[in-house]
Structure 1
Amino acid sequence: MAITPPEKDGTRLLYGCMALGGSWDTDTYGPADVDEAEAAIAAALDSGIDTFDHADIYRRGKAEAVFGEVIARTPGLRERIVLQTKCGIRLADGDLPGMYDLRGPSVVRRVEESLGRLRTDVIDVLLLHRPDPLAAPEDIAAALTSLRDQGLVRRFGVSNMNAAQIAALQRHLEFPLVANQLEMSLDRRDWLEGGVLVNTAAAAGNGFPAGTLEYCHENGVRVQAWGALAQGRFTGRQESPEEHATARLLRSLADSKGTTPETVLLWWLQRHPARVAPVVGSGRPERIRACRDAALREPDLTHEEWYELWIAARGAPLP
């Protein structure tokens, strides 16, 4: 069945909410955690970011819960934002190990729980968090179709999936999958390196599935990049010679363009033809605001500057 790709998603930047909700070690949160979430949301909105990325497991559900508290006490907030969440990972519980679960009834139940925590009637985008080898695509598709028909979820996507997995699910859906969230950064470059290591000895060490970015680009699946700021490796906690060299180059480029190193780091992803939309996951308002120009300005990197950053980070010439 032919699926018409959606109109191009104009989202340049998402705010990742994994840092919200207090400790991973407890099931409770307090007023201070809600206040911290409110400050992070305000910083994101001030920076031109209106899409907020969740997962049902973040802080054991507390990230969604504190966000829902902020929605409840802020009139008009829900109408201003796009809410995205993920399901499909089950954390370890007692004697049960952590596992993946995309069985249809489990997906529906997790969505209903997320709706309650987020204090909303509808999720704008639901992503399947990780592939579940035991879940049949037709069963997953039936659950997604039911959620859509009930008006509980508007659009759907995936996370950490390759082209073949996306295509297998898409064959059972009458509506398009709109996003694939992958770990991508100037530090995590296997998605990029794989394309240039073909016919080299180093190719065997690259596990990124060939054709995934191309599939997404051709089929209107927006690529979202989690871990986009590389956990601060180039903007605050450099360790290796390559990281120090890249940090110096980022600072020089940022100064010349009147912006921040964080923005240049995100521009590097956004400059790719796959139209990568980075996810900014810091809980610190000042760090969120440092990314503002990545939401409000077109990526200001020349062809040569983009390659200079890549080569500095890899610490070796291209093959």
Structure 2
Amino acid sequence: MRHICIGTSEMHVSRIALGVLHMDALDRTAAATVLGSVLDRGVNFFDTADIYGPNAGRAHASSEKLGTSIKDVGAKRSDIFIQTKFGVVSGYSHNGATRYDSSYRNLVESFDKELEALGTDYVDSVILHRPDPLMDVNEFAGMVQDLMSSGKVHEVGVSNMGPWQIEYLQSFLATHIQVDQLQFGLMHTPIIDAGIHINMSDDDAINREGGILPYTQLRKITVQAWSPFQSGTPYGPFVGNAHFPELNRELDRQARKHATTRNAIATAWILHHPAQIQVILGSMNPERLSQMLDGDDIELDRQDWWDLYKAAGHRVP
């Protein structure tokens, strides 16, 4: 497994990570099997969040399963990197998260429960899960400083933020924002589309994305791609999905060309971008994960990349 450095930090990590949103759906044995299977392939970065627990219907449930699995497989804490997210108030009784809360009290209380769930006294990175329109930036900056001074947090990032949101927040922080976690994959490409639709009639794409991809490269912020295999439609994952025949034909063609699988090609497509985007995989199926991880070994050429982009239905001006 090849590695990248996260932002300007000293975190030298696998460029493919495992997200554990759905780990709470597994029993203890199955969860340990999933974790062990990716550790054996060189994955050393794990992403969770305080609200993860959709199967159990409660916050911290997936993080608990991750913490237990780390112990069950005998992984040394110093050999792995754990990242969590906070700032979304879970509303499982209301069919999903209902609001955001970046207040000092909410974040610290939730974070301490998250450490307990994970069975650790620190995380390598913590991310503000969503922009909070009611954020008191001075209060947030003080909270970050307190968590870092206590040793509970080593690095800080954000998720789903645009350039000016990050720039404004960064101006209050004494530490560098290392990560912006954004949805990105073959069927969800607005951060790419915005860059090639300059001076086009669909310039609203530019206004929405605000040049976030070149901005993160300029500021040395690592983009982490979440839900990279989702179609962004009611049809769910796109690999092998009959609703996306052209894309799957192209995935098949390139899988034959590179003697691999569709899942590996879809991963390799993200990794081909020069921004050194980290891919956050969310599958809990060891066989599927193994295929996705094979993408680390595949070198697509430029034509491969563009053929896939167009087969996914994205327009090239």
TM-score (norm 1): 0.88
Please report how far the alpha carbon of residue 74 of structure 1 lies from its aligned counterpart in structure 2 after TM superposition: 3.7
Cross-structure match for 2:33: 39
Please report how far the alpha carbon of residue 80 of structure 1 lies from its aligned counterpart in structure 2 after TM superposition: 2.5
Distance in structure 2 (CA, Å) of the matches to 1:103 and 1:226: 25
The 1:276–1:147 alpha-carbon spacing in structure 2 relative to 1, beyond 3 Å, is same
Aligned sequence identity (%): 29
Cross-structure match for 1:265: 266
Cross-structure match for 2:14: 11
Q: Deviations over 1:123-174 (max 9, x none)?
A: 1111110011101222111111110000001111011111111111111122
The 1:94–1:227 alpha-carbon spacing in structure 2 relative to 1, beyond 3 Å, is closer
For these two proteins, the number of residue pairs brought into alignment is 301
Distance in structure 2 (CA, Å) of the matches to 1:257 and 1:280: 21
Please give the secondary structure, in 2, of the residue aligned with 1:112. Answer: helix
Distance in structure 1 (CA, Å) of the matches to 2:32 and 2:200: 49
Distance in structure 2 (CA, Å) of the matches to 1:315 and 1:146: 45
Cross-structure match for 2:3: none
Please give the secondary structure, in 1, of the residue aligned with 2:151. Answer: coil
Distance in structure 1 (CA, Å) of the matches to 2:79 and 2:230: 29
TM-score (norm 2): 0.88
Which amino acid letter does the alignment assign opposite residue 282 of structure 1?
S
Please report how far the alpha carbon of residue 84 of structure 1 lies from its aligned counterpart in structure 2 after TM superposition: 0.7
Distance in structure 1 (CA, Å) of the matches to 2:199 and 2:276: 27
Q: Deviations over 1:27-78 (max 9, x none)?
A: xxxxx62222111111211222111110111113210111122233343442
Tell me if the contact between 1:5 and 1:219 (Cα under 8 Å) persists in the aligned partners: no
The 1:11–1:215 alpha-carbon spacing in structure 2 relative to 1, beyond 3 Å, is farther
Tell me if the contact between 1:71 and 1:119 (Cα under 8 Å) persists in the aligned partners: no
Cross-structure match for 2:119: 119
Which amino acid letter does the alignment assign opposite residue 271 of structure 1?
H
5 Å-filtered alignment, 1:13-28, equals: 13-22=16-25
Distance in structure 2 (CA, Å) of the matches to 1:234 and 1:78: 35
Distance in structure 1 (CA, Å) of the matches to 2:70 and 2:97: 33
5 Å-filtered alignment, 1:56-71, equals: 56-59=50-53, 60=58, 61-71=60-70
Please give the secondary structure, in 1, of the residue aligned with 2:196. Answer: coil
Distance in structure 2 (CA, Å) of the matches to 1:41 and 1:289: 12
Please report how far the alpha carbon of residue 310 of structure 1 lies from its aligned counterpart in structure 2 after TM superposition: 0.7
Distance in structure 1 (CA, Å) of the matches to 2:181 and 2:168: 17
Higher relative contact order (CA 8 A, sep 6+): 1
Cross-structure match for 1:25: none
Q: Which moved more, 1:102-111 or 1:225-234?
A: 225-234
Cross-structure match for 1:86: 85
Which amino acid letter does the alignment assign opposite residue 277 of structure 2?
V
Tell me if the contact between 2:198 and 2:206 (Cα under 8 Å) persists in the aligned partners: no
Q: Please, which runs of 5 or more residues in structure 2 have no aligned partner?
A: 1-6
Tell me if the contact between 2:193 and 2:205 (Cα under 8 Å) persists in the aligned partners: no
Please give the secondary structure, in 1, of the residue aligned with 2:132. Answer: coil
